[in-house]
Amino acid sequence: MDLILWRHAQAHDALPGCEDLSRQLTHKGEGQAARVAGWLDRQLPQSARVISSPARRAEQTARSLGRKFKLRDELRPDGSVDDVLNLIKWSVDSGPPHKGAVLLIGHQPTFGQIVARLMGVSEQACDIRKGAVWWLRSRLRDDQLKTSLLVVISPDLI
């Protein structure tokens, strides 16, 4: 299975009295999302499942891809690594139960924590920048789960 983590693009800072989930992308963030969406659309298989956080900034990022997607509370900014891995049915020991690709659109620090857990590295090594994509692939080899980092791409490089 390919697990693609796309952190939402740059969003406005929270204003006093505004709910965090309602924060929207900045003009720069809209451009970031569009550039990365174009790149992703060329790379993703048509069968890829796309799942987004219900936060407005993540939903806007997902919409830039122009594909169907689902909103799931497990991807909220306060979601946990375990909640997200359960959502996609990924076991740290045996990996996912299915093949294919899933694209998740969400937030830091959860995405960095997911990469750290699956790759067996320090969380500090997995600071996912706004608008960036981290693409992981898992395979069973000799009855052991192997997770590889295929691509890290930032909107600044597209």
Chain centroid to Cα 141, Å, comes to 25
pLDDT score, position 93: 72
Contact by Cβ (8 Å): 87, 50: no
Compute the C-alpha angle 52/95/112, nearest 5°.
50
Which residue, 92, 145, 89, is CA-closest to 115? 92
Domain 2-10+21-157, classified CATH 2.160.10.10, yes or no: no
Residue 130 region by backbone torsions, left for phi larger than 0, else alpha for psi between -120 and 50, else beta: beta
Rg of the chain, C-alpha, whole Å: 15
List the end-to-end C-alpha distance of the chain, in Å, as a whole number.
Answer: 25
Structure confidence at residue 74 (pLDDT): 98
Q: Is the pTM of this model over 0.85?
A: yes
What pLDDT, in 10s, does the model give residues 96-148? 877 899 999 999 999 999 999 999 888 778 899 999 999 999 887 787 788 89
pLDDT recorded at residue 133: 98
- β-pairing verdict for 2-7 and 133-141: antiparallel
- Residue 142: partners with Cβ closer than 8 Å, 6 or more residues away: none
68-107 per-position pLDDT tens digit: 999 999 999 999 999 999 999 988 777 787 789 999 999 9
In this predicted structure, the answer to whether residue 8 has a pLDDT above a threshold of 90 is: yes
Give the whole-angstrom CA distance, residue 50 versus residue 61.
Answer: 11
